[in-house]
């Protein structure tokens, strides 16, 4: 992980803060090309749309897939404020995105959410390990910054 990765991960954390300000769960994701240029960003929209699949990463993939060429997606990185859940990891895989960088790990998130039936503790690395192509994963990183966006939200 390099300085560009850390800078872009902070942007994803800022998007998560905006999602929270907009009344949604505090998750954000951005897509950047191989040069580190931000191509697109997306917030979590689960609460405001009533769509349980409105996770930041899934929203990003839905928006990016029709307009960004497959060759660009393959060399792009998806930066996300929190480790992708299994659903989002599947969307990332199917989109062809080649790399994921995340801040807060799944177990860090679940430590905040308390005893909830809405947990699917399966790491994105585990999901990708069963994939037919390699998806590079880096993280966690900047955990204190990513954690800060969630403080007080889940209680």
Catalytic positions, please?
57
Give me the sign of the Cα torsion angle 53, 151, 108, 80: positive
Q: What CA–CA distance (Å, rounded) separates 32 from 52?
A: 25
Q: What CA–CA distance (Å, rounded) separates 87 from 127?
A: 9
Contact assessment for residue 109 and residue 150, using Cβ atoms and an 8 Å cutoff: yes
Q: What CA–CA distance (Å, rounded) separates 131 from 22?
A: 34
């Amino acid at each position: 992980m390099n300085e560009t990765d850390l800078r872009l991960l902070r942007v994803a954390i800022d998007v998560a803060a905006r999602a929270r300000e907009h009344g949604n769960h505090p998750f954000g994701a951005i897509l950047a090309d191989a040069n580190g240029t931000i191509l697109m960003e997306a917030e979590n929209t689960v609460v405001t749309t009533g769509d349980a699949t409105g996770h930041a990463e899934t929203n990003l993939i839905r928006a990016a897939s029709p307009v960004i060429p497959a060759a660009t997606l393959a060399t792009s990185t998806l930066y996300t404020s929190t480790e992708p859940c299994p659903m989002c990891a599947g969307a990332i895989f199917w989109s062809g995105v080649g790399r994921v960088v995340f801040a807060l790990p799944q177990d860090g998130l679940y430590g905040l959410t308390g005893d909830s039936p809405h947990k699917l503790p399966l790491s994105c690395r585990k999901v990708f390990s069963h994939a037919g192509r390699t998806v590079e994963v880096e993280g966690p990183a900047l955990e204190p910054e990513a954690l800060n966006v969630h403080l007080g939200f889940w209680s």
